[in-house]
Structure formats: C-alpha cells, structure tokens
Amino acid sequence: MTRKFEGDRILVATHNKGKLLEIADILAPHGVTVVGAGEMKLPEPEETEDTFVGNARIKAHAAAKATGLPALADDSGITIDALNGAPGVYTADWAETPDGRDFMMAMNRANDEIKAAGPDAPRTAQFRCTLVLAWPDGHDEVFEGVMPGSLTWPIRGEGGFGYDPMFIPEGLDITCAEMEKAEKNKISHRGRAVTAFVAGCFG
Ligand SMILES: O=P(O)(O)OP(=O)(O)OP(=O)(O)OC[C@H]1O[C@@H](n2cnc3c(O)ncnc32)[C@H](O)[C@@H]1O
Ligand SMILES: [Mg+2]
C-alpha cells in the first residue's frame, strides 16, 4: 500500500464531533486514526467563502499552517431543490442561536420553506461533502461526495447528527438518524468523499 503520510494518524480540522466520529470509523479499517481540531486546541476559523471547497480550504490550510502537519477538513451541508440549493454552505448557520446550535429549529425552517414554495414543490435534496487535504507547503487536494435523497416530516430517529432525522437517502425508507452508523457511512456524502481520499492517499 502506498502511504503519503508519516505514521498512521491524520489531523482532521473539524470541531464537529459527529463528522469526526464518522471519518474515524471510515478510516479505521485502513489502519488510520484521527486527531481532531479540538484535541489539538486549534481555533475555529471563520468560514467566509460561498462555496464548500472555499470553506474547506480555509479550515484545512489554517490547521496545516498552525501545526506543520497535513490537515484534512470537511465542509458539508444540504442543498434543497425547492429552495434553489439553500441552505448549501449556510447549512450550519440555519441552526445558529445565541446559545449554540439548534438543529430542531433548522429542520423546522427547511420544512417550512419547502411548504411555502408551494404544494407541488419537490422534497428532494442532497447532502454534499467536500474534503480538502492541505499540506504545510501550501498545496492541497480536493475530494467530494454527494448523497441524494428527500426530506421527510415529521423527523424520525435518534442517531446521527445535524439534519439526519429529516433526510431519507434515495431508495430507502428510513432517515439517516434511523440507520446504523456503518450503514450511513457506506452510502453517505462523507463516506463517498472519504473513500475517494483513501483511494488517493492510501490506495
Ligand atoms: O466546520 P466544522 O468545524 O467542520 O464543523 P461544522 O459543524 O461547522 O460543519 P460545516 O461548517 O461544514 O457545516 C455543515 C453543516 O451541515 C450539517 N451536516 C453535514 N453533514 C451532515 C450529515 O452527515 N448529517 C447531518 N447533517 C450534516 C452539519 O450539521 C452542519 O450544520
Ligand atoms: Mg463550520
């Protein structure tokens, strides 16, 4: 196996525990463990770009620069067809409150806006994940994954994180919050992006 990394640990520049756990689970069979931005006491950079790849680059390069290590960042979100792709890069912002993130509020907003788009508005949506691997010398590599599906209401399930309780992957009849973790990772946007990263860096 060709390995681009020294050792078997990868710095993942995220403060989202749900993402970190999923990435750790997907990489574990490849003999790779992860260390998160929190454990490395890295600050959370402001995500000022209007694309997933732009924001993933900000997070990955900030971590690589701060540590001198290659860093992998994940920028992800949900694009809703009836809302012309919103919330997209603003998916986390829809959950923001003065007391932290409230995903019940964010999911309610998504459901309300689809309803307001009209009785025939489609409920189709996509989860999207862009991974950027940034190197301390300033170059980077990009890996992407998409999971198509639809948004159901009321929400169902206790697992996962974020918008998982309202998202039903295409071809299934359960939400991502009702799936086993391994089952979600096999088909998810993040699972697909991490698999592309593994093929590019550990294949
Ligand atoms: O920026 P970092 O520190 O990585 O963590 P974050 O949670 O802020 O992550 P993003 O900026 O990429 O925002 C992504 C949003 O999309 C949501 N999201 C991404 N992947 C998801 C998934 O697999 N299931 C449910 N929600 C997801 C997530 O909850 C966030 O609200
Ligand atoms: Mg973020």
Band the pLDDT of 1: cuts 50, 70, 90.
very low
Which of 75, 93, 99, 173 is labelled catalytic? 75
Residues β-bridged to residue 128 = 77, 146
Percent of the chain that is helix, strand, coil (3-state, to 5):
40, 25, 35
Render pLDDT for 123-181 as a digit per residue (tens, 0 to 9): 999 999 999 999 999 999 999 999 999 999 999 999 999 999 999 999 999 999 999 99
Render pLDDT for 27-62 as a digit per residue (tens, 0 to 9): 999 889 999 999 999 999 999 999 999 999 999 999
Q: Where are the domains of the chain?
A: 9-201
Nearest ligand, CA 59: 1
* Burial of 156: CB neighbours in 10 Å, binned 0-12, 13-18, 19+: middle
Name the pTM for this structure.
Answer: 0.97
If you search the block for the tokens 């071809």, which residue do you land on?
Answer: 171
Mean of all residue pLDDT scores within the chain: 96
Tell me which residue of 151, 171, 177, 133 sits closest to 32, measured CA to CA: 133
Render pLDDT for 64-82 as a digit per residue (tens, 0 to 9): 999 999 999 999 999 999 9
Render pLDDT for 165-182 as a digit per residue (tens, 0 to 9): 999 999 999 999 999 999
75 Cβ below 6 A of ligand 1: yes
CATH class of segment(s) 9-201? alpha beta
